[in-house]
Amino acid sequence: MLTIKPLESALALIAFTACVGSAMETSKPGLVQTTGTVTVTGRVTTSDGKPVPNARVYVPGTNEASRTDANGNYTLTGVPGGPQAVVVRERGYVPVRVEAKFSTKRSDRARNHVDVKLLTPNEVATVAAQWARDSAGLDKVGFFRRESTNRGAYFITPDQIAEMKPVTTSDIFRRVPVVVQTTGRTGPVLRGVQGCLITYVDGLPWRSMFPGDLDTYVPARDVVAAEVYPPGQTPPPPFVRGVPRSNCTTLAIWTRSRVG
């Protein structure tokens, strides 16, 4: 079962979705500062995409520290490869700690680019409240209960959707092998791996008016979670209508309009 598990708390979820978290790090007396050969680049912006100049960016445990330029860009040289953390601090924003795994290979340079988004304390409080409402709503519709009891199904939780940064709702299912994305006249069209796809939105059957209308009428920003049941597996209530079709994939989407 591919299960994308929910985070343990609303604040942890905020750290994942908005790159906001505890950026506290400790220095041990006599700790040797390490160096490496990796160059790390990235951009620091506000929640609405504006550059943050003069923010302090550094990798704990190394000698590398820098400040962002007028466009929010930064460069750190001499960073060791492997698991590291990039910490960003600027007055008026919540400190950020982003976990990364840097590569010394030229072909993996994309892994050494870390963009960071800073939130104000008020924005963090607002996001925390929204995630708490989302979690309570998903619990109310039985999402977490089904996640813990249904083997072989695919559960996509808010933290994973946030990591994906989907542009369309179809993007959310790119990692689910029993859902296939094809190209239609108006954009992406989702199908089951065996051709048949039964879709539910907020517990109700979705009747397509034209191929790809899911992306038209269900914006990705409103999707909180999803669950997918592969062919051959009878989905649990409330996704059972009539006689089950063994060749069908069942896809269920939960939106903030329903659970928030």
Give the pLDDT confidence score for residue 6 in this predicted structure.
35
Residues 143 and 226 placed together within one structural domain of the fold: yes
Q: Which of 66, 47, 51 is nearest to 117 (CA)?
A: 47
Residues 189 and 250 placed together within one structural domain of the fold: yes
Give the pLDDT confidence score for residue 31 in this predicted structure.
45
Residues 136 and 255 placed together within one structural domain of the fold: yes
Q: How many CB atoms lie within 10 A of CB 221?
A: 11
Give the pLDDT confidence score for residue 13 in this predicted structure.
39
Backbone angles phi, psi at 50, to 5 degrees: -80, 145
Which CATH number belongs to the domain containing residue 70 in this structure? 2.60.40.1120
Q: Cβ(210)–Cβ(124) under 8 Å?
A: no
Domain residue limits at 42: 19-25+32-118
Give the pLDDT confidence score for residue 164 in this predicted structure.
87
Residues 101 and 191 placed together within one structural domain of the fold: no
Please state the separation of Cα 140 from the chain's center in Å: 22
Tokens 């009428």 correspond to: 217
Q: Which of 118, 152, 184 is the last residue of a domain?
A: 118
Token duo for residue 1? 């079962």
Q: Which of 153, 199, 173, 226 is nearest to 3 (CA)?
A: 153
Q: Is residue 4 a part of any domain in this protein?
A: no
Tokens 């598990």 correspond to: 5
Query: Where is 116: in which H helix or E strand?
Result: strand 116-117
Residues 175 and 209 placed together within one structural domain of the fold: yes
Q: Is residue 213 a part of any domain in this protein?
A: yes
Give the pLDDT confidence score for residue 259 in this predicted structure.
75
Residues 106 and 216 placed together within one structural domain of the fold: no
pTM of the model: 0.66
User: What is the C-alpha to C-alpha distance for residues 168 and 188, in angstroms, rounded to an integer?
Assistant: 9
User: What is the C-alpha to C-alpha distance for residues 51 and 135, in angstroms, rounded to an integer?
Assistant: 31
Residues 46 and 165 placed together within one structural domain of the fold: no
Residues 151 and 241 placed together within one structural domain of the fold: yes
Q: How many CB atoms lie within 10 A of CB 48?
A: 7
User: What is the C-alpha to C-alpha distance for residues 9 and 102, in angstroms, rounded to an integer?
Assistant: 27
Q: Is residue 113 a part of any domain in this protein?
A: yes
Tokens 């550094």 correspond to: 58
Spell out, as residue ranges, where the chain has pLDDT lower than 70. 1-34, 242-243, 260
Give the pLDDT confidence score for residue 260 in this predicted structure.
58
* Overall domain count for the chain: 2
Give the pLDDT confidence score for residue 33 in this predicted structure.
59
Residues 195 and 91 placed together within one structural domain of the fold: no
Q: 3-class SS at 70? A: coil
Residues 182 and 139 placed together within one structural domain of the fold: yes
Q: Is residue 220 a part of any domain in this protein?
A: yes
Residues 138 and 112 placed together within one structural domain of the fold: no
- Residue pLDDT, tens place only, 156-213: 999 899 888 899 999 999 999 999 999 877 778 999 999 999 999 999 999 989 988 9
Residues 58 and 145 placed together within one structural domain of the fold: no
Token duo for residue 23? 């950026």
Which CATH number belongs to the domain containing residue 183 in this structure? 2.170.130.10
